[in-house]
Amino acid sequence: MPLLPLLPIFHRLNREHFDGTLAMNGQPLSSVRWSDGRMSRTAGFYRRGPGTGEGRGSEIVLSKPLLEPLPQEATESTLCHEMIHAWVDLVLRRRESHGPRFRERMEAINAAQNRFQVSVRHSYPVPVRPPRWWAVCPSCGSRYPYRRRIRNAACRRCCEQHHGGRWHCSFVLQFESAV
Ligand SMILES: [Zn+2]
Ligand SMILES: [Zn+2]
């Protein structure tokens, strides 16, 4: 799927699911744009702050590398997710991320149509970086993936089971290289 222009999708979603509250005089309240080619850890984000969104003070950014290869519904679902954040922030003026107002609006949108589903987590294949280390519990043998070694981290399961959730030296994880 080639890169789609985002504004027409924004305006349609705004009409269908936000009663038009996310635009004024035909202009989106926050800027909406594709990322550059490097944004590969998340499918999209919304943020507000001085200097963002070309002076508009807030922006929605969608990941070009993650969404470009996926069907259009992935772009719509991601854009809609970020629009709910913008709506909670700019229209309701609430400070919450995936709180009750976010979820209520998300569920209403999911119930109102079946073109796409919005989820709290972006649920398409965001490439996960492989672990560099396995942390192995010497007592129960549980293996936990880690990006880096953590000194004196202990097995949560064993500490909960045998020590009322308190750290104990006999369950300190042993790190094995995973690469
Ligand atoms: Zn979110
Ligand atoms: Zn254990």
- For position 123, what pLDDT does the model report? 57
Distance 34 CA to ligand 1 centre (A): 17
Q: Compute the distance between CA of residue 125 and CA of residue 69 in angstroms, rounded to an integer.
A: 11
- For position 171, what pLDDT does the model report? 94
- For position 166, what pLDDT does the model report? 92
Distance 99 CA to ligand 1 centre (A): 10
- For position 10, what pLDDT does the model report? 97
Q: Compute the distance between CA of residue 77 and CA of residue 62 in angstroms, rounded to an integer.
A: 11
Query: Which of 83, 68, 82, 65 lies closest to 16, judged by CA?
Result: 83
* C-beta of residue 52 within 8 angstroms of C-beta of residue 29: no
Ligand nearest, relative to CA of residue 44: 1
Phi, psi of 44 (to 5 degrees): -175, 165
Distance 103 CA to ligand 1 centre (A): 10
- For position 172, what pLDDT does the model report? 95
* C-beta of residue 175 within 8 angstroms of C-beta of residue 135: yes
User: Which parts of the chain sit beneath pLDDT 70?
Assistant: 1-2, 122-130
Domains and CATH numbers, the chain: 6-112 (3.30.2010), 133-177 (no CATH)
- Which two three-digit tokens encode residue 171? 């369950």
Catalytic residues: 82
- For position 128, what pLDDT does the model report? 53
- For position 136, what pLDDT does the model report? 93
Ligand nearest, relative to CA of residue 160: 2
Q: For 110-159, what is each residue's pLDDT tens digit?
A: 999 988 889 988 655 554 566 788 899 999 998 888 888 889 999 988 99
- Which two three-digit tokens encode residue 14? 């705004």
